[in-house]
Amino acid sequence: MELEGRTALVTGASRGIGRAIAVYLAELGAQVAVNYSSSEQRAIEVVEAIKEKGGRAIAVKADVSNLQEVEAMFEKVLNEFGDLHILVNNAGITRDALLIRMKQEDWDAVLDTNLKGVYNCSKAAAKIMIKKRRGKIINISSVVGVAGNAGQSNYAAAKAGVIGFSKAIARELAPRNIQVNVVAPGFIETDMTAALPESIRQEMLKQIPLGRYGDPMDVAYVVGFLASDKSQYITGQVIHVDGGMIM
């Protein structure tokens, strides 16, 4: 199996895209730390699903925006698995509003989770990976970080920030044989998009050349490739998984 002997930490893996990534990386042979912030029962279910298929996994609670909790999470992963080869920064939230109605706390919450969380976890992972001179960091951005979207200025700023941040650390970490890449999903069927009104869902569908919403596995397959040795010569890239929304 391609990821046999590797350890992966997937943030926000209790649901949606993160869950699909965690289960798929385990199918490829990795031991997986399933991070969550509040959905403990759902994280435990992900761990059980991995174990049922013969894999190894643990659930780790941490709010990625909180440095102390992130440091404790990495310590727990190292204590349990002894190493870390793959970090997938997937945890994310939305707090949508038009700019003139956007509350400061909605701006801060989205930037703290979606951007500062990526910085916190990447820094902790890089410290481990640099010593071993190998590693994979995969950050989940969004088409919204590339094209913008009315009502999501906080989310767009954070997701665009993730792209710039990833390119900067891809350059910093390349000499240590650590690859950093970004996956930018389009409209993927999860709790996050289920919350949108049907009129907006239909409007989005019209903008997808492939004519369907994405499935979390569409994202997981790309992350599996970026986590594997098959992508050793790819770094600092943004891979769109969006049915052709951005070309």
**Is residue 92 at the binding interface for ligand NAP, with CB under 6 A as the rule?**
yes
**Is residue 12 at the binding interface for ligand NAP, with CB under 6 A as the rule?**
yes
Q: Which of 65, 152, 179, 181 binds ligand NAP (CB under 6 A)?
A: 65
**Is residue 93 at the binding interface for ligand NAP, with CB under 6 A as the rule?**
yes
Instruction: Select 88 or 170, whichever has its Cβ closest to ligand NAP.
Output: 88
Smallest CA-to-CA distance from 152 within 117, 192, 188 is with 192
Measured distance CA(241)–CA(247) in Å, rounded? 11
> Minimum distance between the CB of residue 52 and ligand NAP, rounded to whole angstroms?
20
> Minimum distance between the CB of residue 93 and ligand NAP, rounded to whole angstroms?
5
Stretch that binds ligand NAP, among 34-42, 72-80, 100-108, 146-154 (CB under 6 A): 34-42
Instruction: Select 114 or 235, whichever has its Cβ closest to ligand NAP.
Output: 114
**Is residue 156 at the binding interface for ligand NAP, with CB under 6 A as the rule?**
no
The footprint of ligand NAP on residues 178-217 (CB under 6 A) is 185, 187-188, 190-193
Convert the chain into a string of H (helix), E (strand) and C (coil). Answer: CCCCCCEEEECCCCCHHHHHHHHHHHHCCCEEEEEECCCHHHHHHHHHHHHHCCCCEEEEECCCCCHHHHHHHHHHHHHHHCCCCEEEECCCCCCCECHHHCCHHHHHHHHHHHHHHHHHHHHHHHHHHHHHCCEEEEEECCHHHHHCCCCEHHHHHHHHHHHHHHHHHHHHHHHHCEEEEEEEECCECCHHHHCCCHHHHHHHHHCCCCCCCECHHHHHHHHHHHHCHHHCCCCCCEEEECCCCCC
Measured distance CA(59)–CA(83) in Å, rounded? 16
Stretch that binds ligand NAP, among 10-18, 22-30, 52-60, 169-177 (CB under 6 A): 10-18
Is 54 labeled as ligand-binding?
A: no
**Is residue 161 at the binding interface for ligand NAP, with CB under 6 A as the rule?**
no
**Is residue 64 at the binding interface for ligand NAP, with CB under 6 A as the rule?**
yes
Q: Which tokens hold the place of 151?
A: 């009502």
Check if 221 is active-site.
Answer: no
Q: Which of 3, 8, 16, 163 binds ligand NAP (CB under 6 A)?
A: 16
How many residues in the shown chain lie near ligand NAP by CB under 6 A?
31
From the candidates 24, 36, 119, 155, give the one annotated as an active-site residue: 155
Q: What are the residue numbers of the active site?
A: 155
Residues that bind ligand NAP (CB under 6 A): 11-18, 35-39, 63-65, 90-93, 113, 117, 140, 142, 185, 187-188, 190-193
